[in-house]
Structure 1
């Protein structure tokens, strides 16, 4: 009987320690859009380090100030302590006869994403980085989007309070820090007041609406015209005749995207108020909903003078990518 109890207790402890990571893994640390690179100093200061900084230090388009998509920092393997291992996003570079690129989740902490790049020599490692740079960027961005969405899910707005969301038959995860500005049943405008630094006078804004799908081939061509018409109708400036438009001096960037399994266009650019000095970045997702013969549009725009805006735009991206269309 004693042996049976000993075996049962031991088995339970083993299952508890190995069967569910939440019992043994600490919470991960690190800012959004930040990657800790584990590499030897000699690698970081050589062509390998230059390739990493070039590949992953690309600037985010559509922002008034230059800000990288990902912020990088480096630690040598000898300094890769328990605290460093808890970082949420890790890129580990090493020499090995087993060349390759791989991804593992929740190794030292959770949630955590680790990308391993290993090669026989500098040339091989650089080739792997060049080959997989877009994949690696997307892996880290996607992980941070999911992390942000999980945070918002814990304290989100009740969607059934908004006529426009109900009428459009969609769902999305919006944190309770956003407050209603306008909800016509066809157009929704929510605003979050920014509370940090100089940006406490600014705001993050969400717009949701739809337009008829008349010709799928020209959806991307009409994005600027559509958002300008919406701005004129719904987003007024301080005085009569002022309203939000796409900044004429800055051509927006349009990328292919997928939202809720549907073809979409991601547009990043700058907005301004006609005949005024207000301006900032915007992020627009135009989602082709063939089933309902329409284009569902999510737009986020930020007004945060004199501060960096990457974090604010990324929050809008995470909210947009939570959209589900019924």
Structure 2
């Protein structure tokens, strides 16, 4: 199962085919970001198939310094599915028994709450349930991963820093919904650094570009070399001679994905550190091809928060921000 997680992110970008219900009059979803409720009776929960569904949803998220589950999952029996519980943002209901009329897995959006992601799994036997769960792992996890990201994208698109977003449109010729509380830290012709700083944490966005010299420009090694070169020159640490760089002792996840606003984007996830200091944390970067100017444009997000060991939700926020990248925006006249 852990090997399949490498493909779940790709599936989550392209997943489609669910039934969507208009949600204008529905309540906002219950539960915090990343929380999921699985509704299945104790008999099913105790089977290997029930455990398999649980394990699928709590498998580790890629690119974090400490192991964290993709979702915080609670399992409840059907008798506990109250009207309030029905409004949870991520919900799976499982029915197994001879009384099931039609077997299958169905995906829904906005059934009982706005932007809710709901999956119904119905099977006549444990064997059939096990087969459906096993064969649809990527779709199941990808569906909920995409739902989490789309909620965040909707929020950032409705509440962003107009000044910084306009700067990206004017100077870089792409749009991106920079969060409202971000400030400009540094910029030059080929680099811009924006972040939200507190006394104990930092959430940042970097944008940089370099010449496209062929397909090798998007190789993992080339992108990491350009990343380290840029960070060494542009992102100094607190102490003299210190600078941000990649933590190469930690695995770097490399993927080529397709996104709604771009094609063949290279995504890398890993850890950063400060050379000459004890700072570090997770990062996610996306490399885009600017065909018109023959450039590679890298958009990147990083987080630093040593007092909060859980980084999953912060990284998801960064990924959602980066997903708002769009070169096909319409300029205001």
Deviation at 1:167, TM superposition (A): 2.2
User: Mean alpha-carbon deviation: is it higher for 180-189 or for 73-82?
Assistant: 180-189
SS at structure 2 position matched to 1:69: coil
Give 1:152 shift: 1.9
Alpha-carbon contact 1:160-1:166 (below 8 Å) kept: no
Answering whether residue 198 of structure 2 is matched by residue 205 of structure 1, we say: no
Query: Which residue in 2 is equivalent to 1:187?
Result: 191
2:210–2:297 contact (8 Å) kept in structure 1: yes
Contact kept, 8 Å, 1:159 with 1:165, in 2: the verdict is no
Is contact 2:39-2:92 (8 Å) kept? yes
Q: Distance in 2 between matches of 1:158 and 1:286?
A: 24
User: Deviation of residue 254 (structure 1)?
Assistant: 0.8
Name structure 1 gaps, 5 residues minimum.
Answer: 1-18, 195-199
Structure 2 match to 1:10: none
| Whole-angstrom distance in 2 between the partners of 1:146 and 1:97 | 33
Higher helix share: 1
1:146 lines up with 2:145 in the alignment: no
- Give the aligned partner of residue 7 of structure 1: none
Residue correspondence of structure 1 range 197-236 to structure 2 within 5 A: 201-221=200-220, 222-236=222-236
Higher relative contact order (CA 8 A, sep 6+): 2
Within a 5 Å distance, the mapping from 1:10-89 to structure 2 comes to: 21-23=23-25, 25-89=26-90
CA gap of 1:193–1:160, structure 2 versus 1, over 3 A, is closer
Cα distance between partner residues in 2 of 1:317 and 1:303: 15
Structure 1's consecutive aligned runs of 4 or more residues displaced over 6 angstroms after TM superposition are none
Runs (5+) with no aligned partner, structure 2? 1-20, 329-333
- Work out the CA distance in 2 between the residues paired with 1:55 and 1:46: 14
Matched with 1:15 is none
Cα displacement (A) at 1:211: 2.0
Q: How many residues align?
A: 302
Length-normalised TM-score, structure 2:
0.85
Q: Does 1:243 align with 2:243?
A: yes
**Backbone CA RMSD of aligned residues:** 1.9
Aligned to 2:256: 256
